Chain A
């Protein structure tokens, strides 16, 4: 990818990711976050949640993947920040879909600022999600 083809408004291909209980169990094991609200719906509902909810950090980690694939290198994500604005309920039957989008907000030299969106069930589950990326490979 060449920096001169990237400009404000450049749209990064969006992606819809299906998440089910197995996705969450797998993320729990990989991350070590075994909070019960991510796998036991009785406990989740007892604390006022609609159902088991996805780990916020799963959503954050998955939301950057379309940007990584567009860049071609996860190592060129130099900063990444999100606000968790709504949980992603993951019902036993059918799971949930999360739609991830990303648009280039600004390009300064070699660095692009990218706004990221994540919605599930019509709700914005991340807000103020933004990454800065290095567009070009650094010459070693």
Chain B
């Protein structure tokens, strides 16, 4: 069943479940962005701000806050939003759930790419729920963070 035959114009096409997208452009984690992001959250751990503090704990450089990865994972998820087959109406999108698994913290100097797979598309109560699994991977193939996002595309009701 193609997108144009799908009965509910607002609903996300369930046939895109399982689809994977190419990696996003490489993202280089910087000290300045970590410090800015941490300050915006009211974070006070000096390992976000001071490389010496971070190194004294065994990290290569300043470490990103636990939710920093969302900026990068959403670059992968953007492929889903742009996929005409999925038919996602961005203006009806609400962030439903977010999860991170950190194999280690992201540190300044890391270069990672986000690769997203649509794990699940579910319809409930007139809304569509899309679960996206995104891996942040270094050029050496190390997966630093696995992120899972659930977005809700509100129906007419």
Contacts and interface: CB of A to CB of B under 8 A. Distances in A.
Interface residues of A, number: 34
Residue of B39, B44, B102 contacting most chain A CB atoms (<10 Å): B102
Contact of B96 (A30, A64, A83): A83
Contacts of A23: 40
Contacts of B67: 57, 60-61, 64, 80
Contacts of B70: 31, 57
Interface of B: 33, 36-37, 39-45, 47-48, 57-59, 63, 65-67, 70-71, 94-102, 104-105, 148
7 contacts: A26-B40, A30-B36, A30-B37, A30-B39, A31-B40, A74-B65, A81-B98
Contacts of A80: 66-67, 99-100, 102
B105 A57 contact: no
A11 to B, nearest CB: 20
Interface string A50-73: 000000111011101100110011
B69 to A, nearest CB: 10
Given A73-B47, A138-B58, A140-B58, A30 B95 contact: no
Nearest to A132: B101
Nearest to A18: B42
Contacts of B43: 61, 65, 68, 74
B45 A77 contact: no
B45 A68 contact: yes
B42 A17 contact: yes
Residue of B47, B67, B70, B104 contacting most chain A CB atoms (<10 Å): B67
B146 to A, nearest CB: 9
A62 B42 contact: yes
A83 B97 contact: yes
